[in-house]
Structure 1
Amino acid sequence: MSILIRGGLVVSATGSASADVLVEGERVAALAAPGTPAADSWAALADTVLDATGKYVIPGGVDVHTHMQLPFGGTFASDTFETGTIAAAWGGTTTIVDFAVQSKGASLLAGIESWHAKAAGNCAVDYGFHAILSDVNEAALKEMDAAVAAGVTSFKMFMAYPGVFYSTDGEILLAMQKAKANGAVIMMHAENGIAIDQLVAQALAQGHTDPVYHGLTRPPQLEGEATSRAIALAEVTGAPLYVVHLTASQALDAVAEARDGGQNVFAETCPQYLYLALEDLAKPGFEGAKYVASPPLRPREHAAALWKGLRTNDLAVVSTDHCPFCFKDQKELGRGDFSKIPNGMPGVEHRMDLIYQGVVAGKISRQRWVELCSTTPARMFGLYGRKGVIAPGADADIVVYDPDAQQTISAATHHMNVDYSAYEGMEITGRVETVLSRGALVVRDGAFHGRPGHGRFVPRGLSQYLV
């Protein structure tokens, strides 16, 4: 099966050029300037020709922070690997990296195997795993080596959620020492969970139960403090550090200082922290529960700092932290007690569109858009070469993007398995038109043509920023 994409502007992390793209089977076969003999000959031979005139042709999105089917607070994230990866495809994301959870007292490798069982045969696009390391002990530290050998080359730890995922500074230090030895990346949820739990208890004791108190009891200073502490531990051990879902200017300042000092510290943010704010948590009638995630939405001035961080590369990646819970029956578990609202928001379908609004507004270039959403996440987590680039030999994960289309985000039209949109009614410019996943047309002409089981597990190598 061969596909020719003609007449488009191929946008990469390093520039843009008019080029026709030939796909043979699952891989990109060649690129050529339009009108050249090579490009003209392809048109007669290709099984399918896609006209991309006036459109961008970009590498498929790589979302390295999703939580499909995650158990949390007595319920589960509402997107399965099937529904979540179909929604990802609709939004131009062709690879996700989800988090396999090690339960307290259980094997790290057993947690990874349980996530393989959830995902295998169900995904519409390709996928990989990080491992959540929640029980640091001698056996788990040894298992980190086996996980790396099996293509799970990054480990998430938590300075939040005492009693669930929380690790002490000593445990974090041990895991970082192991990561330094085996080449893995430690990913950190950086919030001071011990202090936060005290603030939560105090708020509830004072009768403050509304969703906005989720944000008020997790102040940005405690994200900044934890980020600084994680950076210090990484400096002591010599390990790289990747800070997930950074939200606060205090945390960003700590990352920027470390990077300026030559330390291998990287960070991501998420669309919700660029477009939503603490005031959304304060919406009346329990509506604010829709916006409960951790870290929480911040006062609006933090978003300006985050956009600056995206421009300066102190923020290297935009992921979603996609962890959806329906408002009805799930978010509502926290009526009368904000601490019982399941933490997480939907977003895997809209990341590419939302970050493209930064291009529309002149905040970032279209090359930076591709870099943040596709190329850097692939490089950061050992996928580059196959993912994150349109080049001969790469997987044919390709998006044809209409930069001028108008659309309105709404739960009535999205494909995520959740009963609300965090961006309901937001009018945006740009739309995914066509999506190829390893050469298969999965989205075309406003219809889904993919299938569960098309997506494959992708074992990851080591970060290309560290080798």
Structure 2
Amino acid sequence: MKKLIKNGMIVTASDSYKADILVENGKIALIGNQLSEAGAEVVDAEGKYVFPGGIDPHTHLEMPFGGTVSKDDFETGTIAAAHGGTTTVIDFCLTNKGKPLQDSIDEWHAKSKDKAVIDYSFHLMISEMNESVLEQLPSVIDEEGITSFKVFMAYKNVFQADDGTLFRTLEEAKRLGGLVMVHAENGDVIEHLVNKALAAGQTEPIYHALTRPPEVEGEATGRAAQLTGLADSQLYVVHVSCGQAVKEIAEARKKGYHIIGETCPQYLVLDQSYLEKPDFEGAKYVWSPPLREKEHQDVLWNALKTGVLQTLGSDQCSFDFKGQKDMGKDDFTKIPNGGPIIEDRMTILFSEGVKKGRISLNQFVDITSTRIAKTFGLFPQKGTISIGADADLVIFDPDIERKISVDTSHMAADYNPFEGMEVTGQPVSVLSRGSYVIKDKEFVGEIGSGSYLKRARFGERKENQQELYQN
């Protein structure tokens, strides 16, 4: 059925204006004033914003880690995402050394098939670079439409790749039109600091942060940036958490290196002191990179405002406090890393960013949707409100005041890291390709209705890739 969204304030990365939107066959058919209501379901968005659907570029749904599996799968995770205004997620597909890349991709397709309620795509982890991997990459790009590849610089003896693997991946990405993503922490130094802490009997959650200081993130970020410049390639730094990493990205961009930076809502509003909560409650806040001292928050907000950082991911990787996080009761290294973030990503940025004057409304849309679509080969199908684009739309009430709580969230974990935080603004209704997923704050979607998205090579869509590096 056609839908006519009337009286809303349309907000894109570049414009804000009042107009009506006609949705037909899953696409935006017309935008204008006083459009005909004939044969259409009329949706009154008076007093509300209409945003393009959010895109979360960083999720770990049903991911094995530390002897367990993250709590939210592609069903619960995408339902929660939709409640938060997100209509597309890009999940990380883990690989195994010596095994065909397609095996891992098939595993992730099996995890997501008939479960996702919004559209989704995959990034692919690269843990080794050899002739076999080189032979497989073209088909991964051409047949699967996976054009972004993640290299871990941390988690030694688990995920960590060496610098040679990172550099060769950068070279291949340049040749094939891929985008390299890095988890930038110095895993060798972290392992040494962790061993020292454990030998000294320092086992509490706070030592997760103290053994992963901001300097190891800054060093790894700078190293990855220099290798990117040497390869004349392109790099996306995930979950930037500290001033040291921001500085390295800013300096690399000034040199003309093709570096894109992402941060996450947890680093904008939570700080290292949360890991010191008594009764092991600090374990709820164990993820990597760790939360930082409060002074880093202003640096991150300023980096978003000025364009040194361009995107916001959730790094969604939820584990129950009871039964999963408490695996590390006597050893912080055994606490599964990650938290339930996916649902609150957009509201926190709106409430703490737009409402408090840290970023503009148009920047909010750019950071949560448009820039991500352009970076990862989805624009203009996703990430904007324009004729012919997918009708992924969020009707957002900017005046709702509420407290975040596990009791009202839709993620599967038994806690919410933002518990009790007062926020302003909430998605009221969310459409994915023209169909309601959320209507009047209730889930009305269809399990399995989400589509897998094949993405374009880096820089192939309409936007000139150089725009991605302009602050």
The alignment's TM-score, normalised by the length of structure 2, stands at 0.96
> 1:377 and 1:205 mapped to 2: Cα distance?
43
> 1:204 and 1:162 mapped to 2: Cα distance?
16
Structure 1, unmatched stretches of 5+, are none
Equivalent of residue 414 in structure 1, options 409, 413, 431 = 409
Q: Given the alignment of the two structures, is residue 181 of structure 1 paired with residue 180 of structure 2, yes or no?
A: no
Residues 168-222 of structure 1: per-residue CA shift (max 9 Å, x gap): 1111111111111001000000000000001001001101100000000000001
Equivalent of residue 236 in structure 1, options 202, 209, 230 = 230
Matched position secondary structure for 1:49: strand
Query: What is the identity, as a one-letter code, of the residue corresponding to 1:110?
Result: D
Equivalent of residue 432 in structure 1, options 418, 427, 432 = 427
Matches within 5 A, 1:323-362: 323-357=317-351, 358-362=353-357
> 1:158 and 1:448 mapped to 2: Cα distance?
36
How far residue 407 of structure 1 moved from its aligned partner, in angstroms, is: 1.4
Single out whichever of 123-132 and 107-116 deviates more from structure 2.
107-116
How far residue 102 of structure 1 moved from its aligned partner, in angstroms, is: 0.7
Query: What is the identity, as a one-letter code, of the residue corresponding to 1:457?
Result: Y
How far residue 117 of structure 1 moved from its aligned partner, in angstroms, is: 1.1
Query: What is the identity, as a one-letter code, of the residue corresponding to 2:349?
Result: I
> Which residue number in structure 1 is paired with residue 124 of structure 2?
131
Runs (4+) off by over 3 Å: 464-467
> Which residue number in structure 2 is paired with residue 287 of structure 1?
281
Equivalent of residue 87 in structure 2, options 87, 91, 94 = 94
Query: What is the identity, as a one-letter code, of the residue corresponding to 1:407?
Result: R
Structure 2, unmatched stretches of 5+, are 467-471
Alignment check: 8 A CA contact 1:66 1:320 kept: yes
Matched position secondary structure for 2:8: strand
Matches within 5 A, 1:6-405: 6-33=6-33, 35=34, 39=35, 41=36, 43-46=37-40, 48-149=41-142, 150-357=144-351, 358-405=353-400
Alignment check: 8 A CA contact 1:95 1:125 kept: yes
How far residue 104 of structure 1 moved from its aligned partner, in angstroms, is: 2.4
How far residue 452 of structure 1 moved from its aligned partner, in angstroms, is: 1.3
Query: What is the identity, as a one-letter code, of the residue corresponding to 1:127?
Result: Y
> 2:112 and 2:77 mapped to 1: Cα distance?
11
Residues 361-410 of structure 1: per-residue CA shift (max 9 Å, x gap): 00000100000001000110000111101111111100000001111100
How far residue 137 of structure 1 moved from its aligned partner, in angstroms, is: 2.1
Residues 282-325 of structure 1: per-residue CA shift (max 9 Å, x gap): 11110000000000000010010000000111101001000000
User: How many residues of Structure 1 are paired with residues of Structure 2 in the alignment?
Assistant: 460
Alignment check: 8 A CA contact 2:285 2:417 kept: yes
Question: CA RMSD of the aligned region, Å?
Answer: 0.9
Residues 416-436 of structure 1: per-residue CA shift (max 9 Å, x gap): 000000000111100100100
How far residue 146 of structure 1 moved from its aligned partner, in angstroms, is: 1.3
Equivalent of residue 454 in structure 1, options 449, 455, 459 = 449
> 2:433 and 2:398 mapped to 1: Cα distance?
23
How far residue 135 of structure 1 moved from its aligned partner, in angstroms, is: 2.6
Alignment check: 8 A CA contact 2:153 2:160 kept: yes
Matched position secondary structure for 2:420: coil
> 1:61 and 1:221 mapped to 2: Cα distance?
32
Matched position secondary structure for 1:44: coil
How far residue 466 of structure 1 moved from its aligned partner, in angstroms, is: 3.3
Query: What is the identity, as a one-letter code, of the residue corresponding to 1:31?
Result: I
> Which residue number in structure 1 is paired with residue 469 of structure 2?
none
Alignment check: 8 A CA contact 2:226 2:252 kept: no
Query: What is the identity, as a one-letter code, of the residue corresponding to 2:211?
Result: T
> Which residue number in structure 2 is paired with residue 441 of structure 1?
436
How far residue 246 of structure 1 moved from its aligned partner, in angstroms, is: 0.5
Single out whichever of 132-141 and 192-201 deviates more from structure 2.
132-141
Percent identical pairs in the alignment equals: 49
> 1:58 and 1:466 mapped to 2: Cα distance?
23
Alignment check: 8 A CA contact 2:405 2:416 kept: yes
> 1:200 and 1:275 mapped to 2: Cα distance?
26
> 2:214 and 2:440 mapped to 1: Cα distance?
44
The alignment's TM-score, normalised by the length of structure 1, stands at 0.97
